[in-house]
Amino acid sequence: MSARDQLTPILALADVEVNGARAWDIQVHNPDLFSRVAAEGSLGFGEAYMDGWWDCEALDEFFHRVVGADLGRRLELTPALAWLAITSRLQNRQTKARARRVAKVHYDLDVDVFEATFDARLTGSCAYWLNAGDLDQAQEAKLDLVCRKIGLEPGQRVLDIGCGWGAFMGYAAERYAARCVGVTVSTEQVAYVKRRYEGQPVEPLLMDYRDYSGEVDHVVSMGMFEHVGHRNYRAYFRKARSVLKDGGLFLLHTIVSGERSPSIEPWLDRYIFPNGVLPTVGQIGQATEDLFVIEDFENFGAYYDRTLMAWHANFMRRRGAMAAKYGERFCRMWDYYLACCAGGFRSRRISVGQFVLSPHGVPGGWRLER
C-alpha cells in the first residue's frame, strides 16, 4: 500500500479530503508529501507546509478537525518522535541551562514580528472576550481581571514570572499605581520593556525564575508555566511561595491539557516552543499541595481560539511586509503556528484558565464577581 493510500483514510476520519473542494480540505502540490509524512510524522507534515508542498484555505478548521479526531495518535511512531517522548519522560528538559533555548528560537525574534501579531501592549497570552469588541479591549479586560483577582492596591509590589513584553506590569503600574518586577530569559523582552516603560515603576530582569529572591505582595504568571516542565512544578510553586507575603495572592494563567500524560508536538517543539509541555489541572493541584490553597479556577479556553484568530488576522494584514523582511518560509511557519493552535483550542482538547492561589486560605473565602 502506498503512503498516500495509508494517509488518505486517516484524514477521512476527520472528514478531510486530499484535493477536495471544501475550505478545510488540503491541496497537495508535491506528491512526495505522503512519503514524507510516513517517514517523519507531524514534524514532516508541518515542515512540508513551510516548504509549500501543500495548502489549505481554512488551516485553522483543518486542525480543529484533525485534533478533535486525535489523528496524531493514528500515525506510526517515527524514531524522532519516539526519542522526543522518551527524553521528555526521563530528562529534565527545562533546566536552567536549557531555559534560554525557547528565547533564542521564539521570544528573541525581532519585536516587529510580535507587533504585527499581538495587541497594542504585546500581550502574548489568551485574551478575555466576555464584553470585549476587539483584541485590544479583550487583552485590557484580561489584564484588569488579573489585577482585580489579586486585589491589587496602589503601592503594592508584584512579581511577574515570565513577564514577556511587560503588558501586565505596564498596565498594573499605569492603572493601579503598582510597583512591578518581572523576570524573563529573553534579552529582547528586557530591552523592549525598558524602552517602553521608562520612568514607570517597572523593572524587567534577565533572570531565570529560580534565581529570583525578595518579598512581594502578589505574584502573577501568564503564559509561562507551559515552559516549566513537570520535573520542576514543585520547585516553581516553592519559589512563588517563598517570595509571597502571607496575605498575598498568586494568579497563575496557563494552558492546561485534557490528557493525563500530555504529548509533545514535535513541530511546535522545534520551531516555536522548544522544551515546552502542557500541564494538567491534576499536576498543578498536586504540585501546590501544602504550599497553596486553590481559591479559584476559571476556564476560558474557548477564548484562546478567538485570540489566536485575531492574531492571525493581524499578521495576515502585515504579511507582505513580513515576507519581504523574513521570507515566505517564515511567514508560512507563523501561519501554521497560529492556525494549528487555534484549531487545538477549538477542539477543546486543550484549555486555558486562571488559578487564584493563597498561602493559607483567604479568611471567609475568596470572592470576585466575574
Catalytic residue ranges: 341
Angle, in degrees to the nearest 10, between helices 33-50 and 328-346: 100
- Contact between residue 197 and residue 179 where contact means Cβ atoms under 8 Å apart: no
Residue 40 CA to residue 36 CA, distance in Å, equals 6
Percentage helix, strand, coil, to 5, in the chain? Answer: 50, 15, 35
Residue partners of 293: CB distance under 8 A and separation at least 6: 357, 358, 359, 360, 361, 362
**Residue type at position 114:** F
**Residue type at position 365:** G
CB atoms closer than 10 angstroms to residue 355: 23
Rounded to 5 degrees, φ, ψ at 364 are 80, -10
The angle subtended at Cα 314 by Cα 312 and Cα 315, nearest 5°, is: 65
Residue 145 CA to residue 175 CA, distance in Å, equals 12
- Contact between residue 54 and residue 33 where contact means Cβ atoms under 8 Å apart: yes
Can you give the length of the chain in residues? 370
Residue 139 CA to residue 142 CA, distance in Å, equals 5
- Contact between residue 296 and residue 356 where contact means Cβ atoms under 8 Å apart: yes
**Residue type at position 127:** A
Give the cell for residue 8: 488518505
